[in-house]
Chains A and B, each alone.
Chain A
Amino acid sequence: MTKKFWIGLVIFFIIATLGVFYQKHVKYPHCDYDGSPVPPIYEVEIILKDGAIKRFCSIYCAVQWFKNNKHNVDHVIVTDEIRGNKIDSYMAYFVESELITNETNDNCIHVFQQRESAQIHMDKFNGRVVDDPFELDE
C-alpha cells in the first residue's frame, strides 16, 4: 500500500468525522429546555410573538417550557415522525403510545401529519389520540 493510499484514507476518515460533527452540533440545534441535541424527526419549534424561535428535542420538553411561557407564544411547529415535515401543531395528530422517543424524559407522545400514519402507529404500539398539548387561548 502506498503512502497516497493511507493519506487518502485518513482524509476521508476526517471528512466522515466532520460530517458527523456537523450533523450533531452544527446542523441540529440543542434543546432549549434540557440542552440535549435535537433529533430532526422529533423537533418542536415554538415561535414567539417577537419572532424568536425556541427549539426542543421532544414534545415533553416543549410542553414543559410551553406551560410556563404560554403568554409569549405565537404558534408551535411540530415534526411529522414519518416524513420529517414541519407542520403547525393544530394540524397534527398527537398519539400517546408505549413507544418512547426520548429515554431521558420518557416522552411517549408522537406526532403525525396524516391520520392514516397515526392509526398505523396506534395499532402497532397500543396508542391513543391525545389533544394538541400546545393549544393557545383565544
Chain B
Amino acid sequence: MILNIYTIIMLFIAIVSLSLGGFLLSLTLKAIITFNTFVPLESKTKYEQKGYLIFLLGCVVIFIRMLAWPWFYFMLQSFVPEVPGAMCIFGVTRIMPSTVTFLQIIKPVSFFFMGGWIFCYYVDKAHPTSPLTRKILLFLLPICTLLFIDSGTDIYYILFMKPLVSVSCCATFFDVPLRPSAMIPQAIFGKNFDTALFFLYYFINIVLVIFLFLTLSNKWKSLLHLSDKILLYIQSGIGLINIPVVVLSFMEVIAPKLMQLPFHHCLYCFIGNGIVPDAPLMLGLFIIGTFSIGWIGILRYICKNSAAKQVTDIFVKRVNSLSVFCLLTSLIMVTIHLVLT
C-alpha cells in the first residue's frame, strides 16, 4: 500500500460512500416497498421528510462518487515516483493490471449513470407534483450496486497495491510499430492513416455539434422533419462512433503533436505529465459532451409517459446546450493548440 494524501482521500471517499450508500440502499428499499401514490394528509409531512432525506443522501453520495473518477487519476499520478520504471500513469497501471482496468471501466460507467440520475432528480424536483419519484427510487437501486462495486474495488486496490515492483515504460506499449491504436486505423485507411483520421475527427465532431445545435432551435428542427426520437438516435449513433475516432485521433495524431513528441502516443503522458497543461480539460469536456447525449437519452426514457413532459423538455434543452458547449469547446481548444503550437 502506498500511503499519501491522495490515497487517504480516496480511501475516505470510498469508505464514506460505502457506508452512506448502505444506508441509502436500505432507505430506498423501504421507500419502494411502502411506496403509495395517495398518502393520507396526516402522514404527508413524515413521508415528505423521508423522501427528502433519501434524495439528499443520494445527491451527496453520487456527487462524492462522481468526483472519485478524476481523483483516481490524480492518485495514480501520485504513485509514479513510487514505482520503479514508471514514467507516467501507464507504468502504475501495470501493477494489478486487471483491477486497474476494471476501475478504469467502472468509473466512467458509474459517472454516466449517476449523472443521468442527477438530471432525472432535478426534473422531478422542478415539477410541483413530483411525478417521477417512484422511477427515480427504482433507478437508485442499480446506482447503489455500481457504487458498492466501485467503492469496494477502490478500497481493495489501495490496500493491496504493491509499490517497488518494477514495471515497463509506456513507450514499450504505445510506441511499438504494431500498437493497436495504429493497426486499427491502418486497416481501415491504409498506411498513411493519420491524415484521414485527423479529417475524420474534425468531420464527425462538427457534424455532431451541428446536429446538437439544430435540435436546440424549433425552427431548424421543423426544417429537418425528424421526430425527437429519431434525432436522439442519430445523435447517439454519431456520438458512439465519435468515441473511438476521438480516442484514436488523440493517440495517433493530436497528442504527439501537442506534446511535441512526434513518436510518443501515450495518452497518460498527455494528460498527466503536464506537458500540455490544459489536456485534461480538452478530454474532460469531450467526455461530458458525449455523456450529455446519453443523459438526454436517460431523461427521455425515464420521463416518457409522465406528467412532467414540459419540464423534461426544458431540461433536455439544457443538457443539449451543455453537450454542444462541451464538444465545441473541446474542439476549439484542440484547434488553438494545433494552430499555435
Contact = CB atoms under 8 A, between A and B. Distances in A.
Contact of A23 (B262, B285, B341): B341
A16 B260 contact: no
Interface in A110-137: none
Interface in B169-211: 169-171, 175
Interface in A1-59: 2, 5, 8-9, 12-13, 15-20, 22-24, 27, 39-41
B337 A20 contact: yes
B337 A84 contact: no
B264 A12 contact: no
A84 B281 contact: no
Contact of B264 (A15, A18, A83): A83
A81 B263 contact: yes
A85 interface: yes
Nearest to B171: A83
Nearest to A39: B260
A8 B329 contact: yes
Contacts of A100: none
Contacts of A15: 278, 281, 333
A91 interface: no
What is the interface of chain A mostly: helix, strand, loop, or mixed?
A: helix
A41 B262 contact: yes
Contacts of B277: 19, 22-23, 27
A40 B332 contact: no
Contacts of A17: 336, 340
A83 B276 contact: no
A129 to B, nearest CB: 19
Contact of B329 (A12, A39, A85): A12
Given A12-B281, A19-B276, A84 B264 contact: yes
B241 interface: no
A83 B275 contact: no
A24 B277 CA distance: 11
Interface residues of B, number: 30
Interface in B320-341: 321, 324-325, 328-329, 332-333, 336-337, 340-341
Given A13-B332, A40-B261, A19 B321 contact: no
B283 interface: no
Contacts of B325: 5, 8-9
A98 to B, nearest CB: 16
Given A9-B329, A23-B277, A85-B87, A16 B336 contact: yes
Contacts of B278: 15-16, 18-19
Contact of A24 (B259, B262, B285, B341): B341
Nearest to B258: A23
Interface in B259-292: 259-264, 269, 274-278, 281, 285
Nearest to B330: A12
Interface string B301-336: 000000000000000000001001100110011001
Interface in B226-263: 259-263
A27 B262 CA distance: 18
Nearest to B170: A83
B95 to A, nearest CB: 20
Contacts of A40: 259-261, 275
Given A8-B325, A9-B329, A20 B341 contact: yes
A83 B340 CA distance: 23
Nearest to B169: A83
Given A12-B329, A12-B332, A82 B340 contact: no
Contacts of A81: 263
A9 B169 CA distance: 37
Contacts of B275: 23, 27, 40
A41 B261 contact: yes
Interface of B: 87, 169-171, 175, 259-264, 269, 274-278, 281, 285, 321, 324-325, 328-329, 332-333, 336-337, 340-341
22 contacts: A8-B325, A8-B329, A9-B332, A12-B281, A12-B329, A13-B332, A16-B332, A16-B333, A19-B276, A19-B277, A19-B278, A19-B333, A19-B337, A20-B336, A23-B276, A23-B277, A27-B275, A40-B261, A40-B275, A41-B261, A83-B170, A85-B87
Given A12-B285, A13-B336, A16-B336, 10 more contacts: A8-B325, A12-B329, A13-B332, A16-B278, A20-B340, A23-B275, A27-B274, A83-B169, A83-B170, A85-B87
